[in-house]
Amino acid sequence: MVERILSRALEALSSGKKVALCIVVKKEGSAPRDEGAKMLVTEDGEVEGTIGGGKFEELVKEEALEALKKGASKLVRYSFGFGEGVDTGLPCGGAAEVFIDVLTPKPRLVIMGVGHVGIALARLARELRFEAILVDEAAEEPGVLAKPPSEALREVKVGRSDYIVIAYGDPERDYEALRVALKQEPSYIGLLGSKRKTKLLLERLSSEGFNLEHLRGRLYAPVGIDLGADTPEEVALSIMAEIIGLRKGAKLPHLSLLKP
């Protein structure tokens, strides 16, 4: 059972999904399972293992999904007709405490375009413990996924916890990459460029039927926060500051025309 739970957890994490490992850490009186019983809940609501079944398990699953949304672990006490805690409605005559441990995958940043900013961004992202994936079909550098946007994102298997920054520099290549990226489900898409260029590309998206209002909080164009950045390294810092700030729930001076 433990092997299946751990295997499922690693599988989900490797695909970019968060999981919650629910462990019974304390038992008082009569309760469905002893200390050490484990259950895994993925952000998709899938379950592996059991900590007792029935209403108790459903309540733990609900708490786990809420913890996954907030990205924060928690300790929850459940009552089986004894003492304080979340009422399970079961008359066993005991109580149990469950630690819901939220595990998050290593964040991935897909950088589309191997220019000066793209290279600086990959270097900084790795310093900040992100997995940085460089994409550019025209690149000959080692370690770059030399495929067009649609093929590259399909191979990378972009998930909801991933980040994409489009930084080719050429408006047509940027636009094509943007259209492809918007068909995926990353938590963040950033578009490098001037406000004038960005406005033109957003207008093209709108003319093709994209609802720009629905892209708020997902598309950041221009990408980054207002640091007065000039050099590639400063621009990379502006972008990573935005990504980290969003992960932490900070209020930021976004450059984006689509304010979140």
Residue pLDDT, tens place only, 196-208: 999 999 999 999 9
Query: What CA–CA distance (Å, rounded) separates 109 from 126?
Result: 9
Share of the chain above pLDDT 90, in %: 65
Domain boundaries, the chain: 2-103, 108-248
pLDDT band at 16 (very low <50, low <70, confident <90, very high): confident
The backbone region for 104, taken as left when phi is positive above 0, alpha when psi lies in -120 to 50, beta otherwise, is beta
pLDDT at 30 over 80: yes
- When the pLDDT of each residue in the chain is averaged and rounded to a whole number, the result is 91
Q: What is the tens place of the pLDDT at every residue in 214-229?
A: 899 999 999 999 999 9
DSSP string, 169-193: -SHHHHHHHHHHHHTS--SEEEE-S
Coil, strand or helix at 1: coil
**Residue ranges in 15-134 assigned as alpha helix (H):** 54-70, 116-127
How far apart are the C-alpha atoms of 155 and 139, rounded to whole Å?
17
Where residue 31 falls among pLDDT bands split at 50, 70, 90?
A: confident
- CATH number of the structural domain 108-248: 3.40.50.720
